[in-house]
Amino acid sequence: MSLLKTVPANVVQSIRAFRVADLQEEARRLGQHFLYAYCANATTKQQVLTTIAESFHFPRHFGKNFDALHDCLTDLTYKSGAQPGFLVVLEQLPNTPKFDREARETLLDVFRDAADFWADKKVAFRVFYSFQ
> Domain residues of the chain, as ranges?
10-131
Residue pair 111/73 in contact by the 8 Å Cβ criterion = yes
Q: What confidence tier does 82 reach under pLDDT thresholds 50, 70, 90?
A: confident
Q: Report the top-level CATH class of 10-131.
A: alpha beta
Work out the average pLDDT over 101-128: 97
Residue 128 · residue 23 · CB < 8 Å? yes
Query: Which tens digit of pLDDT belongs to each residue from 68-77?
Result: 999 999 987 8
Instruction: Give the pairing of strands 33-38 and 10-14.
Output: unpaired
Q: Residue 1 — pLDDT band, cuts 50, 70, 90?
A: low
pTM: 0.95
Q: What are phi and psi of 34, to 5 degrees?
A: -110, 115
∠ Cα 108 9 2 (to 5°) = 120
Segment 45-54, tens digit of pLDDT = 999 999 999 9
Q: Mean pLDDT, the chain, as a whole number? A: 94
